Structure 1
Amino acid sequence: MSGLGLRWRPVRLPLASAHRSALPGAAADLRVREGLVLACGDGTRTGWGEALPLPLPGQPTPAELSGLLAEGAPELVEDPRRAPPVLRCALESALLDLAGQIRGVPMAALIASREPPRPGASLEVNGVIDADAGPPAEVARAGRALAHAGFGTLKLKVGAAGLAVDVARVEALRGACPGARLRLDANGAWREPLARLAVERLAPHRIELIEQPLPAGDVAALRRLREISSIPIAADEALWEEGGATRVLAEDAADVLVLKPAALGGVIRAAELAASARCRRVGAVVTTTVDSSLGTALALQLAAAVESDAAAHGGGAGGRAHGLATGLALGEDLVVAPLLPGGGRMALPAAPGLGIAPDGGAIERLATGPWSEAPGPASALDRAVADAGAG
């Protein structure tokens, strides 16, 4: 192989309806997802990735990502670690997708450190009820609809409307779905005294876990909360901070890590964190960030690898669902057959690599600019596979 070719194109994906983001600093209503779709080819096959940065302070814009590629695509393909996390993830996705196709195996087989997951393996995923779902009766209705669709785990966003409202919504949801596992996500909205009170008020409702109850940078407070909490604590945004994941694990600040490939810089880094967590008897779940099916497929491959490795080491995911159902929020997608849950589960595609086929017509329709391209060294493919195996 003389070299690789990298192409990228800006795209804008409409959401099915306005999405209320609970992340600090995010726009109140998210109506589109904007970013780049990447294609890395060897002349015969093409691997795919996407970089859809969250509209948050400090995150690169799609134009900035395009600029980085225009200035130094060959160097970034050779060593994606030089790129911002969301672009690093997209480059790694394209390289590992291509490598999986060449080897004839799912990407999960390249990520897993022990027994590779079998094609078609089925994983449980959770349903999501957003923070703007409305009064308790509406939350209960949404929960019943998700349970009827087969979701056994329901995640409710909290922290945006006051603790009294949150408790009333949780009470209504538990009453409507007595057999469901309830997961809460505060997105760092609470301060420590309120978080302690929330744990006390919410504990009677059999909560599976609370994701990121405290601000991302306050790992010490997260550890103190975990020490007194009867509800398991999960770290999400805290892992995005520089050195955050290391601190969370070193300080025993969480019972579960929430692994978002795009926020962490790719599936290799996420798999490394899952392995480190497993050594400390800390669980791991994989989630997306309202991605297209390209990003969802990447997260699904990671989740299958994490599950397979956990089983090979004598454990599992602890019965926890992964957060891979965000494709339901999209108005349009970039692939021929969108990856959506069925009966509260998702199956690993049988095809090699990511296992899904991009839709050229959809990419053309959703593009906001032309394709750009640059060469890349063939050695990048071997490096990506070596890094995956080392993880």
Structure 2
Amino acid sequence: MDHFIYKSGVLHAEGVAIPDIAAAVGTPFYVYSAATLTRHYRLFTEALSPLPHQVCFAIKSLSNLAVLKLLGDLGAGMDVVSGGEYRRAKAAGVPGDRIVFSGVGKTREEMRLALEGGIRQFNLESEPEMRALSEVASSMGVTAPVTVRVNPDVDAKTHEKIATGKSENKFGIPIARAPEVYAEIARLPGLRAVGIDVHIGSQLTELEPFEEAFTKVAALTETLRAQGHSIERLDLGGGLGIPYTRSNEAPPLPTDYGAMIKRTVGHLGCEIEIEPGRLISGNSGLLVAGVVYVKNGEGRDFLILDAAMNDLVRPSMYGAHHDIVPVIEAPAGNPSAAYDVVGPVCETGDTFAKGRGLPLLAEGDLVAFRSAGAYGAVMASEYNTRPLIPEILVQDDHFAVIRARPSFDEILGRDNIPAWL
């Protein structure tokens, strides 16, 4: 569910007409619904109750400070994968004891940053990282709370570029080696094992891979406890998918996900941590673009937009589908056409959709990409010296620019020409 609906034939974000935002900031732009973000976060907290739990939003999906502040004020923790994301969480007012640090390549500088600023836990991904953190924490005279990310060799049945739980993936340690690794943690100074971490991938549309992985984690919990380790938390990662089309095939609901968690690990008495990103942010956002030209080609028509692959890279990178809808609703019975929807970047890969059926559109019309809140703005670039596009947050009947479009002077001013040129 989202809060983007047509009212009198005009697409609205909550109580704000999309054309009004376009008139104020220009196109293209991202717009997020505060009501949708709030609702989706609360779905997870309700699904996990009454188990003790902490929902940590995966910042990598949508990292704007205003969004992080909104979710943090609701009680969300944050899952970060870089020192920059850690700084974003802190700048949004999220306390360190609600921040989880994930990622396979944490540097010693990032470890020190988090230990100085406060951290809920580090999710360790390898033995070299474990030893590096021990050295850093010991040198500071502190103890770092840690979990170990175990790789359960479970097929997440998702896109190969976002699957993380198979044995060939770079993430975590083989689950069979976990007892040996936890034994080493117990011997190392500066570390305290507080739980187990697992994350098998993103955009999962079935519960079975989760259930298989969590069942293995439950068995490992019993094994580690029998060996004298205190396992207080289970970090079950994120990955629950969203519907990118309006078809009847919908991924599992958070309520079903929560019931499965209770069934597989609820008996262990652990605090449950989950790290959803896409399901909180994905359907909370639209990318709105304007039609620059309608071009008639050989056997196909092109809808050329002012948004491009540098603004939304998912279709180019993953072959991902986004529903594309006109901002002004076409009356019933109006003619339609099949368009290749493309951007202006000088790449054939700058294609959002091929042969997409849409109402007849003309230069100056507005279209909206649905389910663009996750991995949209965060993955954008300034390729072709195209400015990063604005981000807008809507609440009820008002909106605010939460990231402005930079000027070309600002972009060019970041470069330096050496004196010898």
Normalising by structure 1, report the TM-score: 0.39
Q: Please, what TM-score do these two structures have when normalized by structure 2?
A: 0.36
Larger radius of gyration: 2
Structure with the higher strand share, 1 or 2: 2
Report which of the two has the higher share of helix.
Answer: 1
